[in-house]
Amino acid sequence: MTRFSEKEQRVAAFALLGFGAAAAIPLVDDGYYLSLSVNIAMYAVLCTAWTLFSGPTHYISLATAAFFGIGTYTVGLGIDSLPFPLLLAIAGIAAAILAGLVGVATLRLSGVYFVIFTLGLAELVRQVVTWLQTNFTTSVGLYVFTDMTEKHIFWMLLALAAIVYATGWLINRSRLGFAMRIIGNDETVARHVGIDVARSKVILFMVSGAFIGITGAILAPRFAYVEPPSAFNPVISFQVVIMALLGGTGRLWAPLLGVIPFTILFDRISSSFPNHTSLLIGVAFMAIVYFLPRGVIGLIEDLRKPRASKAGAVAQVPEAAE
Amino acid sequence: MTGRALLSVETVRKAFGGLVAVNDVDFTVKQSELIGLIGPNGSGKTTMMNLISGALKPTSGTIRLDGEAISGLPAHKISQRGVARTFQLVRILPSLSAVENVIAGAVFGHIRAWGDDAYREAEVLLERVGLGGRGSAPTGSMTYIDQKRLELARALASNPRLLLLDEWLAGLNPSELKIGIELIRDLREDGRTIIMVEHVMDAIRSLCDRCVVMSSGVKIADGSVHDVLNQPEVVTAYLGADDA
């Protein structure tokens, strides 16, 4: 685990530079561009966390909003009594537990059944929270007052992004990551070489859910007023899928390639054409799927193929040997 | 070579709805024995293999590995206890390199190798099945026999106590068949316990210590290859009843 290949050192250097540059954004601007950066950082974490699970398993989860909302609500409920870092931890644990329960119940479902179940789950959690609040408390929403500003939120998201990437990288090097690659190839073989397929998937789903929950918790102060429709907004689930697929799910950093252009595009369209946002986003999405069926990463790989294909085949091997 | 039974199959039955694919079959496999499981198409041989490897659960009956019941355990648990298999329709992991395909067999199963050890062992196994030096080759474009070799290496990587070969020789041309038979003979000389489902009778004759014959889900013969192949029931099962 202590040896790093030259390629890994290069990637690490790039990542450090990237994070360093990003961390300096709030020092340059604390208005529009910072706000846009928060959106990008949020979707970067959400999409990468989503891809940790959905990339290797090919299960499309629409439960993002459920985990996100659980995190937001954890902060909403506890902000007056508990310190913020502890709330982040609780949010992660709560989302992981929910993911574990869902995983045990549903990962036997495959394909479209899993998609529908996760979509239903997000809606169910939202309705339960609404019901609890209307019947047992005096208001539907919760106030989250902190002295945190956009830049604090941005730095926290950046730190979380670093943790997500590090986790993803460690998983890829571990037995779990190797197991997931085998499962992605052929589940029958995976079982017959001794892999507990269901357990591996549930663990990964929990890790992914925990990060999404923590993201929701970090974003809570930005909402200031937390209510079910905003915390459990199903649009988040769909946007995460769209952006991750736009970037590509084969590599850890690939979703970022979808997040950055799509977030900027979304922002431009919604500010320039506020009345036709959905229409134009829909057109943009169809155009993207039509012209880039394998995502941005597919385009990049096609462009690099002539010189990279030989090197790629050889480079695969030492990874497994670490 | 000891005489105790490594695998015992005790009145095992598997029914798919009304169809009884395996009908109360009994047999045992001793340590270091190579037995052939033969029979006409549809006689339940592959179902039997799936029951032993845990791909299917028996409807009734018990399968024991070294005295411990394994029937009803999920496939990954059975694999961890030392049963490895190849598949009737070859199943390689196309997006993994050859050496990674082999390592896949070593990491999670009976032995739990990882890192450099697993890598070195995988290289040795590739050499052994005749794929030496091709560890980094992409596997999707390998020829059929090379994919079969790779699958065998993967099964061997876990150092299994029992190896199940499901028509491993099927689809090979005559010269490849020779190589394949030599490879299995090699494994037998190592003292590995093997059950092979096979239609290639030359292979059965030259390799197997003993044969179990199934027909329509029932065991109809069990004994030395020569005796079994001359039994009238076996001849009838393969060639049909005499019209006369």
Residue B116 pLDDT class (50, 70, 90 cuts) = confident
- pLDDT over threshold 70, residue A307: no
Residues of chain B with Cβ-Cβ distance to A180 below 8 Å are none
- Does the beta-carbon distance from B53 to A192 stay under 8 Å? yes
User: Is the model more confident about A212 or about A146?
Assistant: A212
Highest mean pLDDT among A151-165, A220-234, B103-117, B138-152: A151-165
Helix or strand holding residue A142 (H, E):
strand A142-143
Tell me the mean pLDDT in the region B203-217.
Answer: 91
- Helix A295-321 × helix B116-128 angle, to 10°: 90
Question: B74 with B87, same domain?
Answer: no
- Average pLDDT on B159-171 reads 92
Q: Is pLDDT above 60 for B169?
A: yes
pLDDT of B97 above 50:
yes
Contact B93 A178 (CB under 8 A): no
How many residues belong to chain A?
Answer: 322
Instruction: In whole angstroms, give the CA distance from residue B23 to residue B10.
Output: 11
The pLDDT confidence band at residue A113, using thresholds 50, 70 and 90, is confident
d(CA A161, CA A40): 11
CATH no. for residue B54? 3.40.50.300
Asked whether the beta carbons of residue A189 and residue B104 sit closer than 8 angstroms, the reply is yes
CA-nearest residue to A186 within chain B is: B93
Give the residue numbers spanning the domain of B107. Answer: 83-160
Residue A320 pLDDT grade (very low, low, confident, very high; cuts 50, 70, 90): very low
Other Cβ atoms closer than 10 A to A115: 17
Q: Is residue B135 domain-shared with residue B121, that is, in the same domain?
A: yes
Min distance A182 CA to chain B CA atoms (Å): 7
Please name every residue paired with B9 in a beta bridge, in sequence order, or none if there are none.
B27, B63
Q: Is residue B61 located within the same domain as residue B46?
A: yes
Kindly report which listed range (A74-78, A106-110, B70-74) carries the lowest average pLDDT score.
A106-110
Furthest-apart CA atoms within chain A: distance in Å: 65
Burial class for B232, CB neighbours closer than 10 Å (0-12, 13-18, 19+):
exposed
B114 touches chain A (CB under 8 A): yes
- At residue B45, does pLDDT exceed 80? yes
Q: Do B91 and A175 touch (CB under 8 A)?
A: no
Q: How far is B80 from chain A (nearest CA, A)?
A: 5
| Residues B90 and B41 both lie in one domain | no
Q: Given pLDDT bands bounded at 50, 70 and 90, which one contains residue A282? A: confident
Q: Across all residues in chain B, what is the average pLDDT? A: 90
Angle at A242 between CA A238 and CA A246, to 5 degrees: 170
- pLDDT bin (cut points 50, 70, 90) of residue A311 is very low
Helix axes A197-223, A32-57, angle to 10 degrees: 170
A178, A192, A316 member nearest B79 (Cβ): A192
The confidence band for B237, taking pLDDT boundaries of 50, 70 and 90, is confident
Alpha-carbon distance B134 to nearest alpha carbon in chain A (angstroms): 11
* B27 lies in the same domain as B87: no
Q: Which of A245-249, A306-310, B100-104 has the highest mean pLDDT?
A: B100-104
Clarify whether residues B166 and B70 are in a common domain.
yes
The partner residues of A282 in beta bridges, in order of sequence, read none
List the single residue in B76, B79, B107 with the smallest CB-CB distance to A175: B107
pLDDT given at position A161: 95
On the question of pLDDT at A38 being above 60, the answer is yes
User: Looking at chain B, which residue has its C-alpha nearest residue A315?
Assistant: B136
Q: Count CA atoms within 13 Å of residue A207 on its CB side.
A: 22
Same domain membership, residue B128 and residue B66: no
Q: Average per-residue pLDDT in chain A?
A: 86
Tokens of B237: 């099962």
The predicted model gives A244-262 an average pLDDT of: 87
- Give the global pTM: 0.85
> Is B180 inside any structural domain?
no
Q: Quick check: B41 pLDDT over 70?
A: yes
Query: What's the pLDDT at A299?
Result: 82
Q: With 90 as the cut, is the pLDDT of residue A136 above it?
A: no
What is the pLDDT confidence band of residue A318, given thresholds at 50, 70 and 90?
A: very low
Taking an 8 Å cut-off on Cβ atoms, the answer to whether A193 and B107 are in contact is yes
**Dihedral class, residue A305 (left if φ above 0, else alpha if ψ from -120 to 50, else beta):** alpha
Which carries the bigger pLDDT value, residue A58 or residue B241?
Answer: A58
For residues B60-82, average pLDDT:
93
Does residue B34 have a pLDDT over 90? Answer: yes
Q: Tell me: do B72 and B166 sit in the same domain.
A: yes
- Would you say residue A1 has pLDDT above 50? no
Identify whether residues B42 and B135 lie together within a single domain. Answer: no
Average pLDDT over residues B159-187: 91
Interface contact flag, A186 B80, Cβ < 8 Å? no
Cβ–Cβ gap A182/B110 under 8 Å = no
| Residue B95: how many other CB atoms lie within 10 Å | 16
Co-location of B12 and B71 in the same domain: yes
Q: Name the domain boundary from B108, B127, B160.
A: B160
CB contact under 8 A, A317 and B75: no
Per the structure, the count of domains in chain B is 2
Boundary (domain end) residue, out of B127, B160, B193: B160
φ and ψ at residue B118, rounded to 5 degrees: -60, -40
Do β-strands A142-143 and A225-226 pair in parallel, antiparallel, or remain unpaired?
antiparallel
Position A5 pLDDT exceeds 90? no
On whether any CB of chain A is under 8 Å from the CB of B73, the answer is no
